[in-house]
A and B are shown apart, each in its own frame.
Chain A
Amino acid sequence: MIPTREVLPLSSNAESAGVRKTALNAAHRELGARMVDFNGWEMPVEYPANAAAKHPGGLVAEHLIVRSSVGLFDVSHMGDIRLHGPQALEAVQHMTMNDAAHLAVGQAQYSALLYPTGTFVDDVLVHRLGENDYLLVINAGTREKDLNWVRGAARNFDCIVEDLSDQYTQIAIQGPNGWRTLQKLTGADLSKVKFYWFTHGTVCGLPNTLIARTGYTAEDGFEIYIPSDETTSTRVWKQLLGAGEEFGILPCGLGARNTLRLEGALSLYGHEISDTITPWEARLDRFLKMDKGEFIGHSALVNQKQRGLKTILVGLEAIERGIPRDGYNVTDPEGRHIGYVTSGSPAPFLKKNIALAYVPLEHSAEGTELGVECRSLHVKCKVVPTPFYKRPRPAPAAGSAALPDPAPAAGSAALPDPAPAAGSAALPDPAPAAGSAALPETKHPQ
């Protein structure tokens, strides 16, 4: 047995001379992380068992601690593009599909850059830093492509495009105890920062640090952007691990990052979204504001809506033994190929085998039984609503139906009941469901 066919979205092993490293590379190696090449970046996939932390180590432990308490991620490979100037908003509106005009200063939104064909250049988090000042956080694998795209799209607008990617180390502190962990290291009042909003404050003695309540794990949590020199980055990383120790914090790698986002049905570029897929197909139309005015891709999307969709993204759950994985064929009950899996894996928290897949519309209804060809096994799956997992929200006011407190006690690393039904924590959650990054119930239209 030789470990083969890594089904994380990875390229070759981290031996290539051109592979890039984040400022925390040495810190990961010091912790004994297994490193891999992710889109040209040497990143930790998972960390080993830690006798001192009394943790078994590995992807599953990391995944579970984020759901129950807090995990720490180095996400410095992501890119950062700043647009500022008198027409920065117009430029952002022109190149993205969501409506950035609704953003208040201090607010962020999930959005995407589209090609004229209405397909994805990349998905992006747009932050409004100031009056005419926006920060786009983009994927690691598409940094150069996005930057060239943004520069091109912005050229007829009076604004400056700056690549800040190498200036920041970006660290994500994710999980219900994420805010408690970070609060110990900052004077900013994190209770005032709503989900998908951000602030600036002193973190670990670093003034004016961007602190955003964002993430890619379908949990509450924060992302901070600190100077990218190795000394500062390592110091903050270790201080975060120290602050989170009482909550059982673990450093978490790309392995857990992938399974966490999959349980939340969050898209990954190159899988659920790509340059051949539109927002309608990817079920991201909640973030698509056709009425906001013109933007690149608008007319192509109008056409597609009129013609009708051929294919759509669905959630699948295996109902017999087998694990649907990226790239596997999806079949109808007669065994005919009808689509393919974009992302599939065992779900460590839900304890099911789940997948996202593109199938024709006529096979996309909830409850439809389909098959996935898992190498020599044909595995029955059913179409289920997404997201597969929704984090528990705070209990409603006293007097309403008694609900269990979903937040684990501080300091508890106890694992929660591992089998909530998909989309559960039975609260009338007004937040959006299918295909979306969990968004807050904000007062501001998005």
Chain B
Amino acid sequence: MAYPPEFKYTKEHEWLAVENTTGTIGITDHAQSSLGDIVFVELPKVGTELTAGKTFGTVESVKAVSDLFAPVSGTVIAINEELATSPEKVNTAPHAAWMVKITLSNPAEIGALLSVADYEKFIAEEQ
């Protein structure tokens, strides 16, 4: 699966799409592939403050619980309700199955994230 070039990425395998001051966050194809069948996604409530690098929820496969790390800081303005009933969408369409939308509180943090080329290189080296 191709990694969208307009996204930014983290070493913890989250992706961030930015439009003006709104950030959309999900996990990458590499992440969903290593997790296996996803059965549960736990997301924060609207209004929660996220801090870059800190956990903001969890994604669960049958056998593992994995933390989600915020790529950048901001306030949650929307969560993807579909994932409550259809968590498997994270497996089938990881780059479309967004998890939270936030209003960025510190857009400068985007600079610390990986470009698509850097992320692809990072995961290639991880193997």
Judge whether B39 and A323 touch: CB under 8 Å: yes
Judge whether B63 and A7 touch: CB under 8 Å: yes
Q: Is A258 an interface residue (CB 8 A)?
A: yes
* Per-position binary interface string of chain A over residues 334-350, scored 1 when its CB falls under 8 Å from any chain B CB and 0 otherwise: 00000000000110100
Interface residues of B in 59-87 (CB under 8 A from A): 59-69, 84
- Chain A, residue nearest B14 (CB): A1
Bound together, the chains give a CA A8 to CA B64 distance in angstroms of 7
Taking the closest CB of chain A, its distance from the CB of B41, in whole angstroms, is 10
Q: Is A220 an interface residue (CB 8 A)?
A: no
Bound together, the chains give a CA A59 to CA B63 distance in angstroms of 8
The residues of B that contact A321 with a CB separation of less than 8 Å are: 40, 84
Number of interface residues of B (CB under 8 A): 25
Q: Is B42 an interface residue (CB 8 A)?
A: yes
Judge whether A3 and B62 touch: CB under 8 Å: no
Bound together, the chains give a CA A42 to CA B12 distance in angstroms of 26
The residues of B that contact A325 with a CB separation of less than 8 Å are: 65
Q: Is A259 an interface residue (CB 8 A)?
A: yes
Q: Is A288 an interface residue (CB 8 A)?
A: no
Select which of A4, A346, A377 is within 8 A of B66 by beta carbon. A4
Q: Is A58 an interface residue (CB 8 A)?
A: yes
- Chain A, residue nearest B27 (CB): A1
Q: Is A376 an interface residue (CB 8 A)?
A: yes
Interface residues of B in 24-46 (CB under 8 A from A): 27, 31, 34-37, 39-40, 42
Q: Is A46 an interface residue (CB 8 A)?
A: yes
The residues of A that contact B13 with a CB separation of less than 8 Å are: 1-2
Number of interface residues of A (CB under 8 A): 26
Bound together, the chains give a CA A59 to CA B65 distance in angstroms of 15
A-B contact count (CB 8 A): 69
Q: Is B58 an interface residue (CB 8 A)?
A: yes
Max chain A CB contacts within 10 Å: which of B12, B37, B61, B63? Answer: B63
Taking the closest CB of chain A, its distance from the CB of B111, in whole angstroms, is 21
Bound together, the chains give a CA A323 to CA B65 distance in angstroms of 10
Judge whether A348 and B62 touch: CB under 8 Å: yes
Bound together, the chains give a CA A260 to CA B59 distance in angstroms of 22
* Per-position binary interface string of chain A over residues 255-277, scored 1 when its CB falls under 8 Å from any chain B CB and 0 otherwise: 10011000000000000000000
Bound together, the chains give a CA A321 to CA B63 distance in angstroms of 17
The residues of B that contact A4 with a CB separation of less than 8 Å are: 64-67
Judge whether B42 and A376 touch: CB under 8 Å: yes
* Per-position binary interface string of chain A over residues 365-379, scored 1 when its CB falls under 8 Å from any chain B CB and 0 otherwise: 000000000011100
- Chain A, residue nearest B60 (CB): A323
- Chain B, residue nearest A36 (CB): B63
List 26 A-B residue pairs with CB atoms under 8 Å apart, sorted by A's residue number.
A1-B12, A1-B27, A1-B35, A1-B59, A1-B69, A2-B67, A3-B35, A4-B65, A4-B66, A4-B67, A5-B65, A7-B64, A58-B36, A59-B37, A60-B36, A258-B63, A322-B40, A323-B39, A323-B40, A325-B65, A345-B62, A346-B62, A375-B42, A375-B58, A375-B65, A377-B42
Residues of A within 8 A of B (CB): 1-8, 45-46, 58-60, 255, 258-259, 321-323, 325, 345-346, 348, 375-377
Known: A5-B65, A59-B36. 13 other contacts (CB 8 A): A1-B35, A2-B12, A3-B34, A4-B66, A5-B66, A7-B64, A8-B63, A58-B37, A59-B61, A60-B62, A323-B40, A346-B40, A377-B42
| Closest 6 pairs (CB-CB, A-B) | A5-B65, A346-B39, A60-B37, A58-B36, A1-B66, A3-B66
